[in-house]
């Protein structure tokens, strides 16, 4: 075989490996009925009935941290609104089927919703969508969420919160590839957007943020070395919306405390977050940021070293310290958002 032919063949094989190394959502299933996701081989001309947003990432590629400030992080590169929607009841579970996922691309699985309002999800401007997190899974008992998805036949199950207001929503289902996350701009994000038409009697309208405010390139869960045998992983993004969501999320149950009641999770009282009761940055899903057992002492209070005082005085001092810590944490979050 000539040198030219050999090099050409190697280039073709490398390209094929690159395509095979990533994935996309092929179908979405609710109560046994399946709906087609976007297939990159169709280009931007998705057939009627497609519920997944189209994208110019025909190579099943990814979004890098350097694009966190661009529209691409919302629903992938060059995304185009899907014309159809999945009908679903609030409280129902949705099964998301990927065409495949490489075992080397370890990382979390994260799900968001954003209301489309009166514009409708088929016409809404992607840069205006305000996303709130409904589910997350990272590293639990040594198993990455991505490996769990693979073991489930490349499927993931997420529950639509039962308490949200009926209407049109975009489901933003996202996987991270952290195999190069140990270097700056090395992590890979694979956001997939799906249109939903949610029915129900709920009234909650959770606050969200635009996609460009979800992450920063310096987040500990973005710039992350998975080759140091980590036992925990700080999942990036806002806290999970938990009220009325039931167990939420992936086919493995409650993900080690997504809703704050099990392992000091996102909204877990005194020890469930950096801000105490508000769960702001204290995600502890799957061994996240705060693994200490639940205690009646606020998470930020140091060990008692002063002579014992009366209970009211101790409570007042602890409350003041807690408020100071909350203000500092709020300032840090605001600064991160401005960055």
Can you tell me whether residue 252 is helix, strand or coil? coil
Global pTM reads: 0.69
Residue 144: strand pairing partners: 139
Say yes or no to pLDDT of 217 above 80. Answer: yes
> Domain count of the chain?
1
Residue range 98-124, pLDDT digits in tens:
999 999 999 999 999 999 999 999 999
Chain mean position to CA 140:
15
* Residue 242 confidence (pLDDT): 81
Q: Which residue has the higher pLDDT, 255 or 61?
A: 61
Q: How far is CA 119 from each of CA 76, 81, 82, 193, 288, rounded to the nearest angstrom?
A: 21, 12, 13, 17, 37
Please indicate, yes or no, if residue 309 is contained in any of the structural domains.
no
Report d(CA 156, CA 169) in Å as an integer.
19
pLDDT band at 326 (very low <50, low <70, confident <90, very high): low
Please indicate, yes or no, if residue 274 is contained in any of the structural domains.
no
Q: What is the CATH number of the domain that holds 38?
A: 2.70.50.70
Q: Which residue has the higher pLDDT, 170 or 39?
A: 170
pLDDT band at 59 (very low <50, low <70, confident <90, very high): confident
Identify which of 188, 24, 169 has the alpha carbon closest to the alpha carbon of residue 97. Answer: 24
Please indicate, yes or no, if residue 227 is contained in any of the structural domains.
yes
Identify which of 260, 278, 177 has the alpha carbon closest to the alpha carbon of residue 221. Answer: 177
Q: Mean pLDDT over all residues of the chain?
A: 77
Please indicate, yes or no, if residue 17 is contained in any of the structural domains.
no
Identify which of 147, 144, 136 has the alpha carbon closest to the alpha carbon of residue 226. Answer: 144
Please indicate, yes or no, if residue 189 is contained in any of the structural domains.
yes
Please indicate, yes or no, if residue 322 is contained in any of the structural domains.
no
Please indicate, yes or no, if residue 314 is contained in any of the structural domains.
no
Residue 235: strand pairing partners: none
Per residue, the 3-state secondary structure of 261-304, as one string, reads: CCCCCCCECCCECCCHHHCCCCCCCCCCCCCCCCCCCCCCCCCC
Please indicate, yes or no, if residue 166 is contained in any of the structural domains.
yes
Q: Residue 105 is part of which domain span?
A: 24-255
Length of the chain: 339
């Amino acid at each position: 075989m000539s040198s030219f032919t050999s090099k050409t063949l190697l280039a073709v094989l490398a390209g094929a490996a690159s395509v095979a190394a990533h994935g996309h959502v092929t179908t979405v299933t609710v109560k046994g009925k399946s709906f087609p996701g976007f297939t990159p081989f169709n280009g931007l001309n998705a057939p009627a009935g497609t519920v997944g947003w189209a994208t110019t990432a025909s190579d099943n590629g990814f979004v890098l941290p350097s694009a966190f400030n661009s529209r691409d992080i919302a629903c992938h590169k060059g995304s185009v609104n899907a014309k159809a929607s999945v009908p679903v009841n609030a409280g129902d579970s949705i099964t998301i089927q990927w065409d495949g996922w490489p075992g080397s691309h370890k990382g979390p699985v994260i799900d968001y919703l954003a209301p489309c309002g009166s514009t409708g999800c088929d016409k809404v401007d992607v840069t205006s969508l305000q996303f709130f997190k409904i589910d997350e899974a990272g590293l639990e008992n040594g198993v990455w969420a991505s490996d769990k998805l693979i073991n489930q036949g490349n499927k993931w199950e997420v529950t639509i919160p039962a308490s949200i207001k009926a209407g049109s929503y975009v489901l933003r289902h996202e996987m991270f590839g952290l195999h190069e996350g140990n270097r700056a701009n090395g992590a890979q994000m694979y956001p997939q957007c799906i249109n939903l038409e949610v029915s129900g009697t709920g009234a909650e309208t959770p606050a969200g943020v635009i996609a460009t405010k979800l992450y920063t390139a310096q987040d500990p869960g973005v710039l992350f070395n998975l080759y140091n045998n980590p036992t925990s992983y700080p999942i990036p993004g806002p806290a999970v919306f938990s009220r009325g969501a039931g167990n939420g999320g992936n086919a493995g149950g409650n993900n080690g405390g997504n809703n704050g009641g099990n392992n000091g999770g996102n909204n877990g009282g005194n020890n469930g977050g950096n801000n105490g009761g508000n769960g702001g940055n204290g995600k502890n899903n799957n061994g996240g940021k705060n693994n200490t057992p639940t205690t009646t002492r606020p998470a930020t209070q140091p060990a008692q070293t002063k002579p014992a005082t009366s209970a009211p005085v101790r409570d007042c001092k602890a409350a003041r310290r807690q408020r100071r810590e909350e203000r500092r944490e709020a300032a840090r979050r605001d600064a991160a958002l401005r960055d």
